[in-house]
C-alpha cells in the first residue's frame, strides 16, 4: 500500500501483507530476489573469446607492444589492474593509458589512438569501455592496431569493427544479470590463463568484486557468486597493496562487507579520477606505497568539495532545505544544473544526490572555460553526468537524442555525455519531453520500499546473523528496509560536522541517522521509522544497531499492531 509522505518528502511503499516473524520476512526476501546459488559461466560463452585469446598469445610470443586502455572510475581501474597483473605474471609490461576526465573526457578518442600508434602498440585491449568507439577503433585499424574490446556498457545500433568484442550483450547465451567491466575483464583473464586458479588469483577475485560492487550491477546470479568469492578473498589477503587499502577502511578489525566496499573503499579508488589522475589509484592497487596515502587525501578532499557543491546545486534549483510534496511535484521532469563551477570529477556525485533527494532524473553540466584550460583537447565541449531512477532508462533516453552529442554512454540509471555548449538548451528540451512522455508524476517522487515490519523487540544479534545470509548487498539485492511503527527517539542529539547526523536510542538500542540531524525536533512525538539493522562493535562488545533511513509522524497505534502480532504468533 502507498503511505503518506515522510518528513523528508519521500513516498513509502509498504507490503500489503506482512510476515509474522523476522525469519519469515528473510525467507520471503531470499525467494523474491532469486538469491539461490548461481555459477560463473565459462569465459568461452563469449563468441569472440577464442580469437581474442589467440591474438594475445601471438602478440606475447612475438614480443609486440601491447596496450591497455581503461576508464577513470573504480570499475575501469580495477578492470585495468586485472589485465596489467595478467601480463606482468607472464613477463610482459603493457603500455597502460587511463583517460583524464578533464583533458581527455570519457572513452577512446582520436588523440589517444594516435598516442598508441606513436608508442608502437600493435594490439590494444580496452577494458570497461570501447563498445561505442566505432570511429576511433576504425582509426586504430588504419594505423595497424588490432583492438580487443572488453566492455559491458549499453550497446548501440552500430558496434565497432574490432578484432574481438567481448561483451555480454553480444553473447546470446550469457545469463542475466550481466557482469561489470571488471567482471568481463576477469572472464578474459580466466580464458587467457585457461584455469580458475593461478598465482595470486585471490587478489584478482577481490579486484573484480570491488569493480562489480562499485559499478552497481545487480548482485544476483554470477555477480553474486563473484562478489561472495571476492569479498572472502579480500578479507584473507595479507601483505599486499590491496590488503593495505582494505585495512585502511576496516572498522575494529571486522571483516569487510559489500557495504564497506560500496561506501568506503570504492570511493577512495574513484577519488583519484574525480580529483586528479586515475593513474594514482592504479598505482595504489598494483604497487601501494605513497599512492595509497594520496588516495586517502584525495578522498577527504572529494567529500568536502562534494558537500559544498551539492548545496550550491540545491540553491540554483531554488529548492527549500526540506522540500514538501507540493514543491517536489512542481519540479520539471529533468533537473538541470550547469556552470563552470562544477568540476567534471564531481558532477556524477552531485547528480546522484539530486536524484536521490527528489526522485527526478538529473543532469549536471560542466561548462568549460577555454580561456583558463590550456590542456583541454576537446575544443570547448561541455561534459555532463546524468542519474535516474528505475522509472526511466537514462541511457536509452540519450540514445533517442543522440544527434546532439559528441559522445555518450552509460547504464539505465547513470550515464555521461559530451556536447557543444550551444546544444545544451535543446538537450534539456528534448530529454525533458522524453522523460515526461515515459513517466508519471508519482514516478518522479523519491521513494523507499519497505521490506518488512518489525517490533523493536525483534531487533537482536540473532536477527543480525540471519540478515548476513542475504549478503552481499548491492544493486538488485539492496540491504533490507524495515518499518518500526509508533516509536520514540530517546536522548536525541545532533552529531558530526555542523550537526549533520542524528543520534539517539530507540527502545534502548543505539541508533544513528546519517544526514538526518535536522529531524531531531521530530523526537517530541511518536514516529514511524524506516531503518536498516546492523551491528555496533566497540571495544570487543557487539550489539544491534538501528540505522535510520527516513522518518514520518506515526500513523499506526503500536498497541494495536502489538495485539495483532500476538494473535498471529499464537
Find how far residue 51's CA is from the centre of its chain.
32
CB 242 within 8 A of CB 203: yes
> How sure is the predictor about 252, in pLDDT bands with cuts at 50, 70 and 90?
confident
Whether 561 shows a pLDDT value over 50: the answer reads: no
Instruction: Calculate ∠ Cα 85-69-306, nearest 5°.
Output: 95
HSE of 169, CA atoms in CB hemisphere, 13 A: 14
Residues 6+ apart with CB under 8 A from 542: 461, 535, 536
CB 511 within 8 A of CB 546: yes
pTM of the model: 0.84
> How sure is the predictor about 556, in pLDDT bands with cuts at 50, 70 and 90?
low
Which domains are assigned to the chain?
Answer: 11-32+450-569 (2.40.50.460), 43-294 (3.90.1640.30), 317-446 (3.10.310.30)
Query: 218: which DSSP letter?
Result: -
* 164-195 per-position pLDDT tens digit: 999 999 999 999 999 999 999 999 999 999 99
Q: In whole angstroms, what is the distance from residue 195 CA to residue 230 CA?
A: 17
* 257-299 per-position pLDDT tens digit: 999 999 999 999 999 999 999 999 999 999 999 999 999 999 9
What sign has the CA pseudo-torsion 549, 550, 555, 558? positive
pLDDT of residue 524: 77
Whether 434 shows a pLDDT value over 90: the answer reads: yes
The set of cell numbers assigned to 51 is 580469437
Whether 91 shows a pLDDT value over 60: the answer reads: yes
Q: What percent of the chain stands above pLDDT 90?
A: 72
3-state helix, strand, coil in the chain (%, to 5): 45, 20, 35
Amino acid at each position: 500500500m502507498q503511505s503518506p509522505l515522510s518528513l523528508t518528502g519521500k513516498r513509502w511503499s509498504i507490503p500489503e501483507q506482512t510476515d509474522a516473524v523476522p525469519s519469515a520476512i528473510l525467507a520471503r526476501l531470499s525467494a523474491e530476489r532469486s538469491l539461490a546459488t548461481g555459477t560463473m559461466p565459462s569465459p568461452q560463452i563469449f563468441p569472440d573469446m577464442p580469437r581474442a585469446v589467440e591474438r594475445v598469445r601471438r602478440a606475447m610470443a612475438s614480443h609486440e607492444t601491447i596496450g591497455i586502455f581503461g576508464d577513470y572510475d573504480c570499475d575501469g581501474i580495477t578492470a585495468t589492474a586485472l589485465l596489467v597483473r595478467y601480463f606482468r605474471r607472464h613477463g610482459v609490461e603493457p603500455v597502460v593509458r587511463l583517460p583524464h576526465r578533464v583533458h581527455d573526457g570519457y572513452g577512446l578518442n582520436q588523440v589517444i589512438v594516435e598516442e598508441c600508434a606513436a608508442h608502437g602498440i600493435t594490439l590494444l585491449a580496452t577494458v570497461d569501455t570501447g563498445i561505442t568507439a566505432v570511429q576511433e577503433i576504425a582509426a586504430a585499424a588504419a594505423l595497424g592496431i588490432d583492438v580487443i574490446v572488453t566492455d559491458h556498457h549499453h550497446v548501440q545500433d552500430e558496434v565497432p569493427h574490432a578484432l574481438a568484442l567481448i561483451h555480454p550483450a553480444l553473447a546470446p547465451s550469457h545469463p542475466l544479470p550481466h557482469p561489470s567491466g571488471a567482471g568481463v575483464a576477469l572472464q578474459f583473464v580466466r580464458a587467457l590463463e585457461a584455469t580458475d586458479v593461478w598465482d595470486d588469483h585471490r587478489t584478482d577475485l577481490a579486484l573484480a568484486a570491488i569493480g562489480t560492487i562499485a559499478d552497481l550491477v545487480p548482485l544476483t546470479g554470477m555477480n553474486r557468486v563473484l562478489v561472495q568469492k571476492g569479498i572472502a578473498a579480500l578479507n584473507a589477503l595479507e601483505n599486499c597493496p590491496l590488503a593495505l587499502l582494505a585495512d585502511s577502511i576496516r572498522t575494529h578489525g571486522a571483516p569487510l562487507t559489500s557495504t564497506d566496499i560500496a561506501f568506503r573503499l570504492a570511493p577512495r579508488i574513484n577519488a583519484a579520477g574525480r580529483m586528479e589522475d586515475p593513474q594514482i589509484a592504479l598505482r595504489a592497487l598494483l604497487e601501494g606505497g605513497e599512492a595509497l596515502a594520496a588516495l586517502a587525501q584525495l578522498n577527504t578532499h572529494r567529500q568536502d568539495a562534494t558537500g559544498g557543491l551539492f548545496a550550491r546545486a540545491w540553491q540554483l534549483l531554488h529548492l527549500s532545505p526540506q522540500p514538501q510534496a507540493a514543491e517536489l511535484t512542481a519540479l520539471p521532469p529533468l533537473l538541470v544544473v550547469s556552470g563552470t563551477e562544477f568540476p567534471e570529477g564531481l558532477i556524477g556525485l552531485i547528480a546522484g544526490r539530486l536524484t536521490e533527494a527528489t526522485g527526478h532524473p538529473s543532469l549536471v553540466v560542466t561548462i568549460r572555460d577555454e580561456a583558463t584550460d590550456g590542456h583541454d583537447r576537446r575544443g570547448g565541449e561541455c561534459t555532463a553526468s546524468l542519474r535516474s531512477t528505475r522509472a526511466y532508462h537514462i541511457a536509452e533516453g540519450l540514445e533517442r537524442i543522440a544527434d546532439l552529442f559528441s559522445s555518450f554512454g552509460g547504464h539505465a540509471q547513470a550515464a555521461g555525455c559530451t556536447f557543444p555548449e550551444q546544444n545544451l538548451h535543446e538537450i534539456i528540451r528534448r530529454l525533458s519531453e522524453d522523460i515526461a512522455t515515459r513517466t508519471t508524476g508519482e514516478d518522479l517522487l523519491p521513494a523507499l520500499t519497505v521490506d518488512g515490519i518489525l517490533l523493536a523487540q525483534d531487533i537482536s544479534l540473532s536477527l543480525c546473523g540471519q540478515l548476513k545470509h542475504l549478503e552481499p548487498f548491492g544493486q538488485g539485492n539492496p540491504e533490507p528496509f524495515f518499518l518500526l511503527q509508533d516509536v520514540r527517539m530517546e536522548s536525541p542529539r545532533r552529531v558530526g560536522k555542523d550537526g549533520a547526523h542524528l543520534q539517539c536510542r530507540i527502545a534502548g538500542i543505539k541508533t544513528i541517522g546519517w544526514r538526518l540531524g535536522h529531524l531531531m525536533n521530530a523526537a517530541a512525538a511518536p514516529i514511524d521509522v524506516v531503518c536498516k539493522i546492523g551491528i555496533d562493535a566497540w571495544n570487543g562488545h557487539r550489539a544491534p544497531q538501528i540505522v535510520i533511513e527516513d522518518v514520518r509522524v506515526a500513523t499506526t497505534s503500536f498497541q494495536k499492531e502489538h495485539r495483532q502480532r500476538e494473535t498471529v504468533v499464537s
